[in-house]
Amino acid sequence: MGKRYIHAFVLIKLRFKTEKLDLIMGSSFFEVINLNEFQRFFASDTSAVAKNLLGCQLLYRSPTGVVGGMIVETEAYFGTEDPASFAYHGKANEKSKFLYGSPGTIFAYQMYGNYLLDVITMPKGDPQAIMIRAIQPIDGTYLMYDNRAVKGVNITNGPGKLTEALGFHTRKLNGTSFESGPLTLTIARKRQPQKIVTTKRMVKLNDVPVSMIKGRFFVAGNPYVSTMKKREVDTKNLGWK
């Protein structure tokens, strides 16, 4: 208990007193105690969690009603060693500070006017995360179509598209848990993918792929996966068992 208190204090001090956090790595800083089951799910290897998230449900209790669906595509961001991460080289600022939060917390940010949604992974202090890149609509589907001026799979087959479909346009929930609240991830009951495909990530810097790291995962044959070709869609089971 005392230990945890000290760590929290150190973190706060580092966050607000220094520009860089590159010295905090590799210490007992990452020691984690008293994690509940939900946090433990996210407190491990980011690629593994990204795969385990496929089939889990993202739900948003929006002002107009409950909307959401099953996650069919994710992308992993590996923190301080990852050129694509906002926390590359331990960078910590008003945006990236949320990456250092507890596993299972929300991180939403804007890019080119689109809101993108991440969930924090690994023990608190290790700034890794997973972007939710696509969902298959389940709840409040007609509400989601109301939120977007497109037809068919275009409703949610991209990270910015799905947040628009949900009507999720805020950063206010950043740092709060996906476990409860208006925006939740349901990890207990999940649909099992028939097959998971792993590819290079989509993220680019200056129009160049940022790395050859395989960090993108999707449900094979699901039509709501971004870049899914029609001829590769599993029209019968949509890629689920």
Partner DNA sequence: CTCCCGATAGGCT
Partner DNA sequence: GCCTATCGGGAGC
151 in contact with DNA (CB under 7 A): no
Cα 81 to Cα 74: distance, rounded to the nearest angstrom = 19
Report the C-alpha gap between 127 and 103 in whole angstroms: 9
103 touches DNA (CB under 7 A):
no
Q: In the range 201-230, which residues lie near DNA by CB under 7 A?
A: 202-204, 226-227, 229-230
Residues in the chain: 241
The number of beta carbons lying within 10 Å of the beta carbon of residue 23 is 10
Instruction: Compare residues 89 and 204 and give the one whose CB is closer to DNA.
Output: 204
Question: Of 15-23, 26-34, 59-67, 154-162, which part binds DNA (CB under 7 A)?
Answer: 154-162
CA separation for the pair 118, 178 (Å, rounded): 10
Answer for which of 102, 154, 176, 194 binds DNA (CB under 7 A) is: 154
Number of residues in contact with DNA, rule: CB under 7 A? 24
**176 residue type, one letter:** T
Give the C-alpha distances (Å, rounded to integers) separating 69 from 17, 35, 184, 228. 41, 27, 11, 18
Q: Does 114 bind DNA (CB under 7 A)?
A: yes
- Residue from 7, 91, 124, 161 touching DNA (CB under 7 A): that is 161
Binders of DNA among residues 22 to 51 (CB under 7 A) are none
Find the part of the chain contacting DNA (CB under 7 A) among 93-101, 117-125, 146-154, 166-174. Answer: 146-154
Q: CA nearest 144: which of 70, 73, 64?
A: 64
Does residue 55 bind DNA (CB under 7 A)? no
Strand partners, 41: none
List of residues contacting DNA (CB under 7 A): 111-114, 116, 148-150, 154, 158-162, 164, 202-204, 226-227, 229-232
